[in-house]
Amino acid sequence: MDRPQRRTDAEHSHQGRAVFRGFSGFSLRLCVSAASLCLLMSWGWSADEKTAETKPAPVAGTESKPAETKPAEVKPEATPAAGTTHVDTKPTEPPKPPTDEQIAQIRWEEFSADNTWVCPFAQDFSRNDEFPERKTDWEDFLAKFAVWAPGHVFDNTEKVRNLIGACSLMDIGQGQFESELPLFVYQRLRREVPDEKLKAILAYMAFHPNEGSVIGTAPELNLDIGVGDDQIRERLQVFAVKMLGRMLGKLPWEPPAQP
């Protein structure tokens, strides 16, 4: 069944199609169809452990002062970016690039609709030039986005998740630039993250939507939405697939020519 058409104005001319069938509330199917996403990447997970030092028993008949021991150095834990929710474990090494078999399992046509209620994705920024007020608002937003701390973390995986998380919050809140922001983030990630690493991170997000951290709010960007992680993760997954598809030349999707 087709999803309701997005609110349109003079700027919209194409009717959107359903983004993804199977997710509750959003017709998303990537996770529901476990058979179609059965080839998952595996990463080793480990946690560093320290064993306590044991003191040897004293020799009988002798008196000795207990050995002086220095207190173990406690390294401060990394402070998570504001508005993020972290899991206790994380990959010990960066995700590996997706295999051809994994890519073949993705039904790209399910993610071809870019002008819909859920996860819109602009083709360009022409709308922002049509009205002076909108252009000014866009420039103001970009100025805030450029210095947004979660978008400048050292770890590439976290950076990708955080920037796409902002797109998810903008979409959930039906923000003014919900279709332009994903395109801007995609172009920024292509500049800042090496292609092979970016492909691996996006594929991991697509196949493992419940892993890793999520941005739950971004008041610095006026995206103080206050929704559950599940809604954010659903959109993280869809945006990750859309960006991965653009990197691989699979999206925008064109139906096969009829004989």
d(CA 198, CA 206): 12
Q: What is d(CA 223, CA 216) in angstroms, rounded to the nearest whole number?
A: 9
Residue 170: domain span:
95-247
Question: Cβ contacts of residue 257 below 8 Å, gap of 6+?
Answer: none
89 assigned to some structural domain: no
Nearest-Å Rg of the Cα atoms of the chain is 23
| 26 located within any domain | no
Report if residue 182 sits inside a domain: yes
Q: Count up the domains in the chain and report the number.
A: 1
Strand partners, 5: 116
Query: Is there a domain that residue 186 lies in?
Result: yes
Residue 254 confidence (pLDDT)? 74
Average pLDDT over residues 78-85: 43
Percent of the chain with pLDDT over 70: 64
- Position 62 scores a pLDDT of 42
Query: What's the rounded mean pLDDT across residues 167-177?
Result: 96
**Is 32 part of any domain?**
no
Given a cut of 70, whether residue 45 has pLDDT beyond it is no
Residue 214 lies in a domain: yes
**Total-model pTM:** 0.66
What's residue 38's pLDDT?
37
Residue-wise pLDDT for 185-235, tens only, equals 999 999 999 999 999 999 999 999 999 989 999 999 999 988 899 999 999
pLDDT digits (tens, 9 = 90+) for 89-142: 354 478 888 899 999 999 999 999 999 889 999 999 999 999 999 999 999 999
Are the CB atoms for 185 and 147 separated by under 8 Å? no
Q: Specify if 131 maps to a domain.
A: yes
| Range from 36-45, 60-69, 207-216 carrying the lowest mean pLDDT | 36-45
Contact criterion met (CB below 8 Å) for 172 and 179: no
pLDDT at 226: 83
- The mean per-residue pLDDT over the stretch 171-175 comes to 95
Of 20, 157, 171, 152, nearest to 87 by C-alpha is 157
In a domain, 102, yes or no: yes
